Amino acid sequence: DAKTTQPPSMDCAEGRAANLPCNHSTISGNEYVYWYRQIHSQGPQYIIHGLKNNETNEMASLIITEDRKSSTLILPHATLRDTAVYYCIVRGNSGGSNYKLTFGKGTLLTVNP
């Protein structure tokens, strides 16, 4: 799996958009970008994933650059409950046989009132 780089922490005002960046310059053509988040003292939760097109669901939007070397997770209207560590992971689609899945340190997003 390609390595990812995320800022260790970010702040956002409540009600504003939170834009969390992730660099994955060594991503290969069949690797997907996944985002999870972990609220304090809980297990991580899947948010969204994408290959090359931008994606949106009820939780967030994912913007992937055309060269796929970076992406941004967007929480359009951040609330205090969005305060969490956000993990960006790049995973290849190797027929499901790549079972070893690792997480980095992620970005601690703090939403301020």
How far, in Å, CA of 57 to CA of 37, rounded?
15
Is residue 32 part of the contact set for another protein (CB under 8 A)? yes
Residue 48 Cβ vs another protein, minimum distance, rounded to whole Å: 11
Q: Which of residues 37-96 bind another protein (CB under 8 A)?
A: 41-46, 49, 51, 87, 91, 93, 96
Three-state secondary structure call for residue 48? strand
In terms of CB distance, is 36 or 75 closer to another protein? 36
Task: Give which of 58, 61, 59, 71 is closest to 31, Cα–Cα.
Answer: 71
Residue 99 Cβ vs another protein, minimum distance, rounded to whole Å: 5
How far, in Å, CA of 107 to CA of 58, rounded?
21
CA-CA-CA-CA torsion sign (47, 59, 73, 75): negative
In terms of CB distance, is 95 or 113 closer to another protein? 95
Distance of CA 91 to the CA centre of its chain: 12
Residue 53 Cβ vs another protein, minimum distance, rounded to whole Å: 12
Residues of the shown chain interacting with another protein in the complex, contacts defined by CB under 8 A: 32, 34, 36, 41-46, 49, 51, 87, 91, 93, 96, 99-106
